[in-house]
């Protein structure tokens, strides 16, 4: 594609199919009228930059101008909203069922269970919808869908024009986005709402005793960081979903989020006050190893191995994003 074709494509790609051809013909004609005979490359650049950002020019061809989520992002918004609500409700419902599954038989009440499931599902769906809408509204107004960093004031130039067809190696697959979304929601839901589910379960007669790994009081010390990082992760996931391809601003944001997640993971795994001694005592009770030995193995070996593997994954993911952004 030459510069004019790329510019026209950037203007019309988010318009309704019924008007794309007419707008493309009109725009091409207007650009040619503004150019001198036998125009140079600089002449073409000057005219296109004078016409301005193709995203803003596209808005002039749309009948409705007032919106919370604009037409450029609306289809992505609806698609991701359904995905987020579906994943969030499924995860929360499963966690609720697991919590009920380990209750003593005398505490069972199917009416209460059904009520809890309905209330939890509705509340989760509402919160998911609110957060997705807020994030899309922020991205709508910060130029992220135009390949910019959030809240940047950079003026549009011809160098920001998309190349046309995106190389396959640069694309962000929807499967990758969905998996990231699933694990983010699962991680936050368990750590923030039901940390007691991470436990060892010992069967005694007809009852199952759960010995949680985390001290809930100590975990509360990290709750703000967990929520903030989760919000940033969700924002970047939405950004990936909208953008559909890697670019430098997105790679930088991915690096920052990876670094924050890595720091949080290291703190969680090395905090001796976070992991309950009762958990290690429970492991000792079902094994031939003492609780002291198990604790030493965890803090001097297992946790360090997990941290190293996590850091390697984070580094590979960050480097991969920059490589794909520069292709």
How many domains, in total, are found in the chain? 2
Q: Is residue 253 part of a domain?
A: yes
Q: Is residue 235 part of a domain?
A: yes
Q: Are residues 8 and 127 in the same domain?
A: no
Query: pTM for this structure?
Result: 0.66
Q: Is residue 108 part of a domain?
A: yes
Q: Is residue 157 part of a domain?
A: no
Domain that holds residue 19: 3-59
pLDDT of residue 259: 93
Q: Tell me the CA distances in angstroms from 246 to 20, 136, 163, 210, 326, one per residue in order.
A: 26, 18, 13, 44, 8
Q: Is residue 156 part of a domain?
A: no
- Taking the CB of residue 256, how many other CB atoms lie within 10 A of it? 13
Nearest to 246 by CA among 327, 188, 316: 327
Q: Are residues 12 and 130 in the same domain?
A: no
Residues 55-64: b if buried by 16+ CB within 10 A, e if exposed: bebbbebeee
- Taking the CB of residue 277, how many other CB atoms lie within 10 A of it? 12
DSSP 245: B
Q: Is residue 82 part of a domain?
A: yes
Q: Are residues 12 and 135 in the same domain?
A: no
pLDDT of residue 308: 93
Q: Are residues 117 and 236 in the same domain?
A: yes
DSSP 220: G
- Taking the CB of residue 96, how many other CB atoms lie within 10 A of it? 20
Give dist(CA 4, CA 46) in Å, integer: 12
Q: Are residues 12 and 113 in the same domain?
A: no
Reported in sequence order, the residue ranges of 158-271 that DSSP labels E, i.e. its strands, are 199-204, 207-212
Q: Are residues 19 and 77 in the same domain?
A: no
Q: Are residues 18 and 133 in the same domain?
A: no
Q: Are residues 178 and 55 in the same domain?
A: no
Q: Is residue 164 part of a domain?
A: no
Give dist(CA 49, CA 45) in Å, integer: 6
pLDDT of residue 311: 93
Report mean pLDDT in 10-residue bins for the chain, 327 residues.
80 78 85 84 84 78 64 81 90 81 61 82 89 82 58 59 65 84 87 82 71 87 89 87 83 92 90 87 82 86 90 93 85
Q: Are residues 221 and 254 in the same domain?
A: yes
Q: Are residues 247 and 279 in the same domain?
A: yes
Using an 8 Å Cβ cutoff, are 31 and 43 in contact?
no
How many residues are present in the chain?
A: 327
Give dist(CA 182, CA 52) in Å, integer: 39
| CA 56 to the chain's CA centroid | 26
Q: Are residues 47 and 77 in the same domain?
A: no
**List of long-range contacts for 184-188, beta carbons under 8 Å, 24+ apart:** 184/230, 184/233, 184/234, 184/237, 185/84, 185/87, 185/88, 185/91, 186/91, 187/230, 188/226, 188/227, 188/230
Q: 3-state secondary structure string, 17-73?
A: HHHHHHHHHHHHHHHHHHCCCCCCHHHHHHHHHHHCCHHHHHHCCCCCCCCCCCHHH
Looking at 59, 89, 107, the residue that finishes a domain is 59
pLDDT of residue 310: 92
pLDDT of residue 283: 83
* Helices 71-101 & 174-188 angle (0-180, nearest 10): 40
Q: Are residues 75 and 38 in the same domain?
A: no
Q: Is residue 287 part of a domain?
A: yes
């Amino acid at each position: 594609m030459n510069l004019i074709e790329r510019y026209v494509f950037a203007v019309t790609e988010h318009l309704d199919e019924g008007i794309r051809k007419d707008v493309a013909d009109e725009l091409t004609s207007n650009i040619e009228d503004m150019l001198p005979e036998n125009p140079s490359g600089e002449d073409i650049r000057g005219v296109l930059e004078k016409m301005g950002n193709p995203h803003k020019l596209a808005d002039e061809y749309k009948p409705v101008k007032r919106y919370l989520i604009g037409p450029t992002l609306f289809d992505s918004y609806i698609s991701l909203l359904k995905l987020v609500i579906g994943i969030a409700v499924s995860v929360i419902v499963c966690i609720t069922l697991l919590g009920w599954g380990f209750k003593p038989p005398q505490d069972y009440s199917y009416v209460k269970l059904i009520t809890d499931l309905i209330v939890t599902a509705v509340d989760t769906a509402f919160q998911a919808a609110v957060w997705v809408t807020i994030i899309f509204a922020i991205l709508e107004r910060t130029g992220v869908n135009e390949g910019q960093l959030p809240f940047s004031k950079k003026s549009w130039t011809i160098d920001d024009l998309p190349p046309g067809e995106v190389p396959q190696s640069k694309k962000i697959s929807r499967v990758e986005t969905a998996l990231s979304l699933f694990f983010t929601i699962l991680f936050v839901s368990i750590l923030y709402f039901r940390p007691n589910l991470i436990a060892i379960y010992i069967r005694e007669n007809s009852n199952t005793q759960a010995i949680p790994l985390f001290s809930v009081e100590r975990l509360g010390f990290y709750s703000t960081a967990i929520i903030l990082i989760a919000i940033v992760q969700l924002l970047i996931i939405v950004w990936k979903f909208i953008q559909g391809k890697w670019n430098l601003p997105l790679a930088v944001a991915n690096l920052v989020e990876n670094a924050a997640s890595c720091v949080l993971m290291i703190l969680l795994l090395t905090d001796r006050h976070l992991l309950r001694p009762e958990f290690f005592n429970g492991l000792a009770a079902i094994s031939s190893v003492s609780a002291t030995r198990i604790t030493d193995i965890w803090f001097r070996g297992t946790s360090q191995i997990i941290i190293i593997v996590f850091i390697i994954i984070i580094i590979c993911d960050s480097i991969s994003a920059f490589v794909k952004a520069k292709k």
